[in-house]
Structure 1
């Protein structure tokens, strides 16, 4: 992970509580991102699209993320933090990094506190951005169904069930649900979530919205299931001079969907122009490799935390070594797998087979999927249809199997590799039927 220059976690002291924060970029503008209901600033980099979105913002700003007290890597507390305490924590982080004035970007539950902070300390906020938010928490769920909804959420906490409303575009992908479940567990305990949701039920900042004096941008997606767009309109309407942008589709979370449009709107609002992303975007042909440890959760339980962590470290070291030998580019670790690219499809297939053999020696069965196509390169991250296709191909793999798309087999003819037909399949979200093949030497 160090190869991809992910930000380090630091701590700011807010009274007697330590608040975990990260800084990405060194732009002339400071931007503090206020999290939603729950967060874990280190594990969130495992969420597809999250790091890329922050890197896009860091092209023009010094971007600060943090875990509010009681969650993630910040100090645990008894009860739930009040809006006043949350404001103290933001101010403590800004003081620690030497930021006298910043852009404040609130997301979801964080919008109410962000609005209150901007109204209370207008001299410290240059711009206010509110995304997927609401002014009154109780407006989201009626009093009749509130207690039932709360009990259901707490009961399912840590299972990834919340992804169905927070990021429905990924809800049918088992690996995404597993990541989201882990994200929930690392961020907060069920009891702590119950406490903060009960406190949030009382939040209502409608009365202070007309007093805001800072330029304000409100962003919301019409297809947001978690927070209906009507609440976004209700949030924007009382704010003097606020600009409200509706997006036709997308999830509740800001790091999925058409993120370039969202980031561009933010950049234009803050700087007056929107060209950072265009300068960094490069399209190249590459073979994309996705791998995944089979039944990783079961293995983790069987091994125990310490042994599992050592095994994962061995897995990551082997990945770097094998990919390096095959002249590949390790893009990132996905927690229990890897994403890599190659400029030659033959080397990519041989690397996948060699990596599978190597990790079997440490007791880890893996599956791998490959596809060759055009990818989008922005800094250390990649995106594009070819990346999604490789992930979908991997999803059809069995244990200790390397599957490739037909385009890969066509490009490696004569390279001494063998392929067994695995039939034609529909890959979710991709058009047509895809012929898949199992590779071997």
Structure 2
């Protein structure tokens, strides 16, 4: 895949790649090395699948991958990352695009949507937070970041296996190598240090673009409450809680993830399969009884659970389906869920 180069307003060279055709989707980076990431089978398959539906743009942020390593380590806040994104948009000639904010780049995606609304068609947010310190709070994440100074190679291996859940197969080895070659320990330390101070929460009410917040995390990762608060703060945003515990997209259930992201990026559609797949078995049973016309008491009797438990399941169902109450949930179910 050919790597091209853009120049930011402050003179930093940014490496980027473009493939496919259709509505533009920019997969924004965290600690990345796009060239190395192509060697990871799951990511390669995801890139090619996305490119069948979209014009996919990949890039490395300043200080990482194919982009300039000679950077100001004191200037790694959201404004610097926003300059990287704007440079890529300008270099590709894209007037508008859907932004996929991924982990570290969630805050940058939010900032772009809020301050340059004419350039953002839609917004997909995964794995990060408006207040980046919240995404770095879990004990497992703090332990991982402590390795940056101590043992860079061990950090890369732990990030690939203990954190992202890759095993010792080819994918795991290439993922560790992508982390290891993404940048230097000094730049990584500066990146994460700056991230702790990034907070774009005040910008959330200003977002006009249709927004999809996606969550899939294990028990030791970012709590779902962080993503629920994020969704609530963005006007009209939808949250999809994906089943599973692998804290990355396109790995645990790649077909469903691809359907969700491409559907939203191309026409704003949120895959019914992805949404209902987020329901637990019990929530599906409650929804089925609800669609059959049962009252809460009747649902409780049928399933052998208390009425207050039924009410709790219904609250979760409404939130996951993105509906406001009983009637809308029944209509959703009767449309073929």
Correspondence 1:162 to 2:159: yes
Q: What pairs with 1:97-246 in structure 2 (closer than 5 Å)?
A: 97-141=92-136, 150-159=145-154, 160-168=157-165, 170-171=166-167, 173=168, 175-223=170-218, 225-246=220-241
Counterpart in the other structure of 1:52: 45
| Equivalent residues of 2:27, 2:59 under 8 A apart | yes
Mapped to 2, the partners of 1:257 and 1:140 lie a distance apart of 21
Correspondence 1:73 to 2:66: yes
| Equivalent residues of 1:70, 1:81 under 8 A apart | no
Mapped to 1, the partners of 2:25 and 2:128 lie a distance apart of 18
Assess, with a 3 A threshold, how the Cα gap between structure 1 residues 165 and 140 changes in structure 2: closer, same or farther.
Answer: farther
- 5+ unaligned residues in a row in structure 1: which ranges? 1-6, 276-441
Mapped to 2, the partners of 1:44 and 1:224 lie a distance apart of 26
| Equivalent residues of 1:135, 1:231 under 8 A apart | no
Which digits, 9 at most, give the CA deviation of each residue in 1:14-68, with x for residues without a partner?
Answer: 13111000011022x11111112x1001100111210111222112210000000
Assess, with a 3 A threshold, how the Cα gap between structure 1 residues 261 and 142 changes in structure 2: closer, same or farther.
Answer: closer
User: What TM-score do you get using the length of structure 2 for normalisation?
Assistant: 0.72
- 5+ unaligned residues in a row in structure 2: which ranges? 272-337
Give 1 or 2: higher helix fraction: 2
Once the two structures are TM-superposed, the CA of residue 179 in structure 1 deviates from its matched residue by 2.3
Mapped to 2, the partners of 1:274 and 1:56 lie a distance apart of 17
Counterpart in the other structure of 1:34: 28
Which structure has the larger Rg over C-alpha atoms? 1
Mapped to 2, the partners of 1:142 and 1:104 lie a distance apart of 25
Give 1 or 2: higher strand fraction: 1
| Equivalent residues of 2:82, 2:112 under 8 A apart | yes
Report which stretch shifted further, 17-26 or 178-187.
178-187
User: What TM-score do you get using the length of structure 1 for normalisation?
Assistant: 0.56
Assess, with a 3 A threshold, how the Cα gap between structure 1 residues 102 and 261 changes in structure 2: closer, same or farther.
Answer: same
Report 1 or 2 for greater relative contact order, CA contacts < 8 Å, sequence distance ≥ 6. Answer: 2
Correspondence 1:43 to 2:40: no
* SS, match of residue 208 in structure 1: helix
Mapped to 1, the partners of 2:151 and 2:250 lie a distance apart of 23
Mapped to 1, the partners of 2:97 and 2:138 lie a distance apart of 37
